[in-house]
Structure 1
C-alpha cells in the first residue's frame, strides 16, 4: 500500500502512480547466481528488454502519458526510486555501469571529471550492460542521447562516428535538444536531418526503434533496445501535432512552491520570491514539457504493439524511467535540478514484463545503479563484483526481503557556468555547492562541502520544508555522518552493506 508520505511530494495533487511491490536480495545472492527458480527461468528464456529513458522528467508529468500509465497498470512502479546524481551525464554513466559517480569518475557534464570523455577515458565503456548482453548473444541498440560531449562528427579511437563496444546498432545524436537540425550517427555513417516535420527527433527514433524490433524478432535473436530521448529537457520542443495540447495547463502549486525550508542552507536561503512573470514562465515551461512528452508516449504505444505483433510480448520487459528529476518553482528555484530534494532525485521507474506483478507500487529503496545488474540478470549475464547496484528481479513478483537496501547515496559536484553545458550555461538553473546525501524512506540527510547540513523527516514533512538538523543530538549526527561516509567511499559489493545504515 502506498504511503501518504510517498504520494504527496511525488505528484503534488496529481494522479497517483500505480500500486505496490517490495523486496530485495542480499549482495551474495544477487551476484553469485540467479535468485530462485523464477530467475533461472528468465535466464533460460533470454527475454528481450526495451528501455525508454527520458531527460529531466519530473514525476508530476506522468499523468499526461496514457501509454505509460497503461504500463503501470500492467507492471510495477517503484515509488522510491532515486538517481545517484541529479544531472544528465553522471546519472547516465551510473545507469550504463551500475556504479556510483565516485566510482565511474563521471561527476559532471563536462571537464576532466565529466562528460563522454571522462567515461570513455576511464574505460567505463568496456563493462556495461550492453557489453554483457552482447556477449550473451543479444542484438543491442542504442538510440538517441548517449553522454554529454559525444558528437557524431568526432573521431575517437580511429572511428568516425565512434561506436562504443557492446552495441550492435548505434543511432545516436550529439546535441538534439531542439528536436531538429541535428546529425545522427547511424553506426559508422552520419545522417543529417533538417527542420521538416518528418525530421522531428523523437519520431525519427520511434521509426528506427520499431524497425530494430522487427528485424531482431525476424532473426529469432533476443534483443536489448535503449531509446534515450532528449525531451522533456529544455527547450522542450513538442512535435508539430502537439503544439496546442493542454491549453491553459499550469505547473502544480505544491506546499513547496515559492517557499523556503526553515533553516535553509545559504545557497538556497538567498533565493527571492518568484515574481508573477517568473510564475507565468514556469507555467509555460510545464505546459511545453507535457506537450513534448506526447510523442514519447505514442512511441511507447507503437513499440509495444510492434513487439506484440512479432509474437514477443510474453518475453519482453519494458522499462520506463528518467535520468533525473526537475524542479519548477519549488523552494523558490526556477527551472533546474541538481538539488537533493525529491523533486530532483526521485524519478519514475516502471517495469512490466514476464512474471512482473501488475498494478503494484514498491517502496523499496532502489537506485539507477540497480538497472545495469537487472538487465544483466534478465539476460543471464554475470554481474561483476565491481558493480555497486543489485538486480531488481526479486522485487518484481510481489515478494519482500527484509535485507533490502535501506539507504541510497546522492552525490553532487558543483558545476560552474559554461556555455557548452546545457544544464549550467548561464540560464535559470542553479548548481548547489558540493554535497553528499543519504536518502531513505524516512529521511533525507545532506552534508555540504562547506559544512552546512540538512535533515528532513519525510514521515512528518513530506514536502521537505523543515530542516531539523539542529534538533538532532550530537550522537545522531555522528551516526548519520558515519553512515554517509561509508556510502560515499564504498565500491562494488561493499556498497550493499554500506546501504544498511
Structure 2
C-alpha cells in the first residue's frame, strides 16, 4: 500500500517560515516568521479544566457515515443545537471509518496512528491493537482519572467479538469499564455482541435492532453509574446510517416520497477534475431513483439514533445528571450522494465527506451558539480529558474545545486542518469498498482552510477550490494560482504532515498565511 510521501520535518517548517516571511516583505511579515511564545488554550500540559470538585459526565453519540443533510430528520439533534453549541466547521482527518475513529480515540493524525485504511498493512483494528494504540485513548485518560468508561456498538473495522487474541476469553480492550461491541453489524440484525468478554448472538426480532440494543445498554450504564455516584464517560457508537441503511422496523415506511437533495453539485461535472473523477458520466434516471431510495432509507435509519438521544436526555434527567453531563453528537465521516456525479460513498476531500456535525450540550454551554472556528476530530480527546480534569499528553495533536463550551472567544486558533487518505481501496471485502460509480481516489493529503480546499495527490495532481466563490467545490483553480501561492500551500501541507505533537502541530496549523 502506498504510504504517505516522505518529507523532512525541518525542511518543511523552514520553507514555510521563509515563505511566510517573504510574503510582501516588510517588518510586519518578518515578525510572523518567528513562532510566538507557546501558550496554547486547550493544548494541555498539566491538569484540565476541572481538576477538583464535581466532575462532569460525558456521553458521546458517534454515528457512522452521517452527513449534515440528515440532521433535519432528527428533532432531538435540532433541539441540541438550540440548547448548545454547534461547531459548524468541524472536520475529520480522513473520510473513512477506521482512520477517523483512530484519530478520535487518540487525538492524533493518521500519520502518527499509522491507521490509514480499514484493513491491511496500514489500517484496521489489528494494526491499531498491534501498535499499542489502545493504551493511549481518551478512555485511558478518563479511567485513570477515576471515571467509569464504556463503549457500545462499533469499535474499529476488523474487530471480531469472539476473537481472544491470546487471552482466556473474547478480547476486551483495556481501559473500558463497560464493553458491548459488535463486529460487522451493518445490517443491524443477526450479529454477535461481545458483552464484557461474553459473546451473545442477536437475531432478527424487532427487539434485536442494534441501535435499540445500544440504547438499552447505554441507559442501563448511565443508571448504574449515577446510582454509584461515579463520574462516567460512555461512547454509544451506532452503525447507522451506514449502508445498507437499515431502519428500525417501526420507521421503515416513514418519509414517503423523500428524495436525495439536489444541491448545485448534484450530477454536476467539475472543471479540471483529478483523473479519478474525470470519467464519471451523468447519473441517469435509474441511478437517481436508486439514490432517492437510499437517501430515504438513510433518513429512516437515523430516526432510531434520534430516539436514542431523547431517551438519553430523559434518563439523565430522571437520575439527576442532566446538569452535570455533556452530551456530544457527531459522526466518523460524512457521505456524498450524487454530488460531482458520484453515486454514493465517501473517501474524498470534498465537504460532503469531511465536514460533519459536532453538537454539544451541557453545563455552562451557551445555548444556540454556532462556532465557525476550524475544529477537527483530533480535538475530542483533549476536550474530554480537560473536562474530566485529566492531563492531556504532549503527543496528543488536537486542541481542547473547552473554551468554546464556556462561551469564550479564542483569538489564537488554527488556520487549517489536515486530511490524509490512502487509496485507492482495493479490498472488496471492506464494507466501505466503493462501487464503480462512486469515489475511489488515489492517496492524497489536503488542507481545509476557512475559505479554501487544497489537495495534493500522490500522482502529482492538484486541486484548489476557492470556497468563497465556489462553495460546492466544482471549479478547480489550481492552475490559476500564482507560483508563490502554490509554494506556500505545498510548504504548509508539508509542515502539518511532519508534525508529531501538540506544539509542532499547533505551529504548523497556525502559520497559514
Shift of 1:160: 3.2
Q: Deviations over 1:133-186 (max 9, x none)?
A: 111111111100000000011121415321111100100000110010000000
- 2:450: which partner in 1? 441
- 1:4: which partner in 2? none
Mapping 1:27-426, distance limit 5 Å: 27=40, 30-33=43-46, 39-40=49-50, 44-424=53-433, 426=435
Q: Kindly tell me: are residues 162 and 347 of structure 1, through their superposed partners in 2, closer, same or farther at Cα, counting changes over 3 Å? A: same
The whole-number CA distance in structure 2 between the counterparts of 1:226 and 1:401 is 28
Alignment: residue pair count: 473
Shift of 1:420: 2.1
The whole-number CA distance in structure 2 between the counterparts of 1:100 and 1:32 is 19
Q: Secondary structure of the equivalent of 2:396?
A: coil
Q: Secondary structure of the equivalent of 1:192?
A: strand
Matched, 1:499 2:509: yes
Q: Deviations over 1:94-118 (max 9, x none)?
A: 0000000010000000001100011
The whole-number CA distance in structure 2 between the counterparts of 1:213 and 1:40 is 21
Shift of 1:416: 3.0
Shift of 1:425: 6.2
Q: Deviations over 1:351-390 (max 9, x none)?
A: 1111111101100100000001111111111111111101
Mapping 1:421-500, distance limit 5 Å: 421-424=430-433, 426=435, 428-493=437-502, 494-500=504-510
Matched-pair contact (CA < 8 Å) for 1:77–1:350: yes
- 1:10: which partner in 2? none
Matched-pair contact (CA < 8 Å) for 2:179–2:195: yes
Q: Deviations over 1:322-367 (max 9, x none)?
A: 0000000000001100100000000000011111111011001000
The whole-number CA distance in structure 1 between the counterparts of 2:298 and 2:64 is 11
- 1:20: which partner in 2? none
TM-score by length of 1: 0.92
Structure 1 stretch displaced more, 394-403 or 257-266: 394-403
The whole-number CA distance in structure 2 between the counterparts of 1:26 and 1:327 is 39
Q: Secondary structure of the equivalent of 1:236?
A: coil
Unaligned runs of 5+ in 2: 1-37
Shift of 1:243: 0.3
Matched-pair contact (CA < 8 Å) for 1:419–1:426: no
Q: Secondary structure of the equivalent of 2:244?
A: coil
Q: Kindly tell me: are residues 233 and 446 of structure 1, through their superposed partners in 2, closer, same or farther at Cα, counting changes over 3 Å? A: same
Matched-pair contact (CA < 8 Å) for 1:143–1:172: yes
Q: Which has the larger radius of gyration?
A: 2
Shift of 1:131: 1.0
The whole-number CA distance in structure 2 between the counterparts of 1:282 and 1:87 is 20
Q: Deviations over 1:10-35 (max 9, x none)?
A: xxxxxxxxxxxxxxx95376312467
Q: Deviations over 1:251-278 (max 9, x none)?
A: 1100000012211111111111101000
Unaligned runs of 5+ in 1: 1-24
Aligned-CA RMSD value: 1.4
The whole-number CA distance in structure 2 between the counterparts of 1:93 and 1:58 is 19
Matched-pair contact (CA < 8 Å) for 2:276–2:440: no
Q: Secondary structure of the equivalent of 2:294?
A: helix
Q: Secondary structure of the equivalent of 1:232?
A: coil
- 2:25: which partner in 1? none
The whole-number CA distance in structure 1 between the counterparts of 2:181 and 2:70 is 25
- 2:4: which partner in 1? none
